[in-house]
Structure 1
Amino acid sequence: SKIMENLNCDKERNLVSWGISNGAKTKLDVAYVEGAGRGAVAKEDLNIGDVALEIPSSIIMSGEVLNQSEMLPVFETIDGIAEDTMLLLWSMKEKHKRDSKYKLYFDTLPDKFNTGLSFGVEGLMALEGALLLDEIVQAKEHLNSRYNELFPALSDRYPDIFPPELFTWEQYLWACELWYSNSIRVIFPDGVLHTCLVPIAGFLNHSICPHILQYGRLEATTNSLRFALSRPCKAGEQCFLSYGCYYSSHLLTFYGFLPRGNNPYDVIPL
């Protein structure tokens, strides 16, 4: 991977510094990588078992952030609302708060995610006849119906908590793309699986031949999420993660990229 030295990573490095001041540990640096956007590069030679990144639970965005949210009393009145949906709506408002604990995290996020979900008409027309088109259209229809179940009803009833200008369809789609492309499913020490946003970890890119394979459990002893290597990574080399065993059209729809090389998880529906 060729490192793009001339591109500015100040926002990303500010987030890393904030993470370290809150107990994170890292052997990775953030850089712009040709053809991939941001990536995480090893600062030193890393061997099998070395922990490249460790993030304390105190800065992980999980369902616990809802306990301090003014939205929680409203959510408690909505029958059967999922934690993932509550977090999605929480993040739509939190990204605009200047005093947010997670402001430096939201500052590193793009104004637009280029996943298949935000393909314009021209992009979708180019896919005409492709199975991927059906996948994207079905996913967007599902998200649109979920949005319509919530809005404008919530904004009409609670305009102070859900200001209509912050809860448009476009903002909702942005938040969906954020959680699809950046969240990690983490098993907490009590055995419960939670969908989380993990600062700094989002800089790690996916590969079909990753360095880091297993990272989905919060360590009870350290109360942190640890990213240990399953194969060595040399200093200056991009360190890759596995996002999961996904076929290429899923990665394009929900993450916005196609993996390099032959994806062993590709399927051809008959």
Structure 2
Amino acid sequence: MVSSFSEITDSDDFATRSREFVDWFRNAPGTRLSAKIELADLRHRGAGRGVVATEDIAQDEELFAVPRSLVLMATTTTNTTTDYVPAAPLPDHNSWLPLIIVTIQQLLRKEQSKWYPYFRVLPATFDSLMFWSDEELAELQASAVRHRIGRESADADLKENVWPVIKADSRSFDLHGSNDQECADQAIRLGHYAGSLIMAYAFDVDRDDDSNLEEEGKQSSHLNKADNGNANRNNARLFQEEDGYLVMKAIKPIRAGEECLNDYGSLPRSELLRMYGYVTDNYKQYDVVEFGLDLIEQVAGSSRAESKVWQRKKAQLEEIGVLDDGYSFPRPEPNADLVDAIPGDLHMAALLSAIATKKLSEYATSLQADTNSLLTAAPQPPPPTDVSAKRYKMAIQVRIGEKEILHQIISLCKDFIAARTNEQKRRLVHGQSSPPSKKQKSRAAR
């Protein structure tokens, strides 16, 4: 990863770093730590470190509490918490950028940083999509998540807003380049690393009164002990108390041996992968498939702009907002019918089926092939030589979820069209050319 930081995190002494971090947290002024939890080694499960219950924990029981003085955050004024006084004003249009700058500064201080024991238990590398190679991203095939990575915009933000602050304050940032370009490159790499730390581990907390950041009432921050809780469908949640403490509590009973998990919310697995670099089947129910505007217009026939058929379809699509930026289709509930499965009462079943069929054709492999590839311990066929086996498997899991939804859409549309066709046939048999209106139904009822 980043050479200037790897020496902090790459030590083989996993247990020592965990113990030193827990000791540091326990001994920090004002912290509280339950005797019923431990920071466990979960590498055998591919989860790194995690907070595990050593005894049964009741609902609403406190797991730990962090005073604001131990929260690593940034403001646009003198930051006494980090012992870092910026030589130039920090960017104030984005709550992440000041924290990225302060995080870089603290990373470069190494042992001199107050948060050194905390940084040592953080990962040296990430599997979030920002760090995937082009060959690895290609394994996501037609997934729309490939277009939401934001690598170019992140590069631009770091170059335009972060590097100038660092360059103007070289005494506070111990970069090791032999010239400005090498230092800039190192700063950008550190910026991507810090940004990924923030995305994966930071929490939004209430701001200090003297903060001047744009997002009203909230500021991104590293909340060190909370960062050790892995995310899944949760049994613990962070609360902000009136006394300034940030407290993690159990929101349901946790049995001894169970992991204490905070929750990222109802995110599809594609977003888990993009933001946090991992995939879990516990979030499978939140999967979505996205139809881009170009695909919708292509299938709907927008090239025939004067066509009455297109104008009618366009009006229907505009009514539900599809033509604004595309359409996101969630995983249908079990036994759902078309009306229940489609937000916005989209009853254009034939068009939707055609769109789903076209989208499905854009994936390079079939659902069956992907499913079969995960039936063995190692995916078959194996990944290309320039693709990480771990990332290859996660890409397959994401595209399986999306293909499952597409097949469900096509099946629902088929059933809907068949039901509507049978209904029309029944009406013709009874001499009724169209369904009775609401007014007719009302009169019949009287």
Partner of 1:18: 24
Partner of 1:169: 188
Is the 1:116–1:254 Cα contact (8 Å) retained in structure 2? yes
Cα deviation, 1:190-216, whole Å, max 9, x if unaligned, reads 7932211011211111112x1114x24
Q: TM-score, normalised by structure 2?
A: 0.53
In the alignment, structure 1 segments of 5+ residues that lack a partner are: 1-6
The CA deviation at 1:252 is: 0.6
**Whole-angstrom CA distance in 2 between matches of 1:67 and 1:105:** 19
Is the 1:187–1:216 Cα contact (8 Å) retained in structure 2? no
Is the 2:203–2:222 Cα contact (8 Å) retained in structure 1? yes
Q: 1:89 to 1:156 in 2, by over 3 A?
A: closer
- Aligned residue runs from structure 1 range 79-158, under 5 A: 80-97=92-109, 98-136=111-149, 139-150=150-161, 152-158=163-169
What secondary structure sits across from 2:40 in the alignment? strand
The CA deviation at 1:188 is: 5.4
> More strand per residue: 1 or 2?
1
Q: TM-score, normalised by structure 1?
A: 0.84
Is the 2:41–2:49 Cα contact (8 Å) retained in structure 1? yes
**Whole-angstrom CA distance in 2 between matches of 1:189 and 1:179:** 19
Is the 2:101–2:162 Cα contact (8 Å) retained in structure 1? no
Partner of 1:192: 217
**Whole-angstrom CA distance in 2 between matches of 1:45 and 1:263:** 28
- One-letter amino acid matched to 2:274: T
**Whole-angstrom CA distance in 1 between matches of 2:252 and 2:232:** 13
Do structure 1's residue 49 and structure 2's residue 71 form an aligned pair? no
**Whole-angstrom CA distance in 1 between matches of 2:78 and 2:264:** 26
Partner of 2:40: 31
> More helix per residue: 1 or 2?
2
Is the 2:97–2:161 Cα contact (8 Å) retained in structure 1? no
The CA deviation at 1:225 is: 0.9
Cα deviation, 1:129-172, whole Å, max 9, x if unaligned, reads 32222122xx1112011012136544554433445546432211
> Which residue among 202, 220, 223 is the counterpart of 2:242?
220
Structure 1 residue ranges, 4+ long, deviating more than 6 angstroms after superposition: none
What secondary structure sits across from 1:124 in the alignment? helix
What secondary structure sits across from 1:264 in the alignment? helix
In the alignment, structure 2 segments of 5+ residues that lack a partner are: 1-12, 177-182, 210-215, 292-446
- Asked which structure has the greater CA Rg, the reply is 2
What secondary structure sits across from 1:257 in the alignment? coil
Bigger RCO (CA 8 Å, 6+ sep): 1
Partner of 1:74: 88
Cα deviation, 1:45-83, whole Å, max 9, x if unaligned, reads 10111111222222111236951354524125x5x4434
CA RMSD of aligned residues (A): 2.5
**Whole-angstrom CA distance in 2 between matches of 1:188 and 1:28:** 29
- One-letter amino acid matched to 2:73: S
Partner of 2:365: none
Number of residue pairs matched?
A: 256
**Whole-angstrom CA distance in 2 between matches of 1:17 and 1:151:** 33
The CA deviation at 1:87 is: 1.3
Give aligned-pair identity as a percent: 21
Is the 1:46–1:234 Cα contact (8 Å) retained in structure 2? yes
The CA deviation at 1:262 is: 4.5
The CA deviation at 1:111 is: 1.9
- One-letter amino acid matched to 1:107: R
What secondary structure sits across from 1:206 in the alignment? coil
What secondary structure sits across from 2:65 in the alignment? strand
